[in-house]
Amino acid sequence: MQTVQFRDLGFMDYQSAWDFQTSLHRVLVENKLKNRDLKPGNYPQAHQLLFVEHPPVYTLGKSGSMDNLLLSADELLARGIQFFPINRGGDITFHGPGQIVGYPILDLECFFTDVHRYVRNIEEVIIRTLAEYDVESFRIKDYTGVWVKNTSNLEPSTVNRKICAIGVHLSRWVTLHGWAFNINTPLEYFNYIVPCGIADEDKTVTSLAAETGRPVDMQAVKERLKRHFAAVFECEIAG
């Protein structure tokens, strides 16, 4: 069983968190190269799971379109929102207050070598966490992330509401980036982008607070996420 070191970075600007992610990623890759004659899993590897909350920022994945950012550079500045084009998959998304961003930095060769399974596992962690709040969530074929539709707090609806976006990048089977799970997130920030590049009329975004009708304790969600991450990835979380 692999051990994953957990770190809660608290409230950190996007660039600092990205730089920290990159430095940890480099450690894992360099360790792989140093032990290239050994089978993965036969030497210690410094897997990491980071949680962080960012100031308002939009990030655009390498396959995304600038057309999905609906604000000019001056408008971004006026609203205090940063913007970063980055090397993850996917299109544009928002990170900000009230959101739990998770960055797993794992050497997948110590777990499994299947990118599709990796993304499905992240979705499963979120789905299991939401179930503890009596929020039924699901996947949609061809759309990465976790969605909800009908909850006890809202009228029956045919609109699919995205509650967690996922975008990842792998280099030498070591992962970067991860998920953005809306907990108490101000949803108005999504009005200034085409979230994840999805303009379908039957799809929008939501948060756990919106689905339950009340503010949600962030620390309690983090503890549940850690527990489900350990179960789904069959690892031990340290820290």
Classify the C-alpha dihedral 117-118-121-127 as positive or negative: negative
Is 211 in contact with 185 (CB distance < 8 Å)?
Answer: no
Q: Which residue has the tokens 């920290």?
A: 20
**235 labelled catalytic:** no
Neighbour-count burial for 62-89, b at 16+ CB within 10 Å, e otherwise:
eebeeebbebeeeebeeeebbbeebebb
How far is residue 206's CA from residue 185's CA, in Å, rounded to a whole number? 8
Q: Of these residues, 110, 164, 196, 235, which one is catalytic?
A: 196
Is 137 in contact with 181 (CB distance < 8 Å)?
Answer: no
Instruction: From 105, 92, 122, select the one nearest 21 (Cα to Cα).
Output: 105
Residues annotated as part of the active site? 196
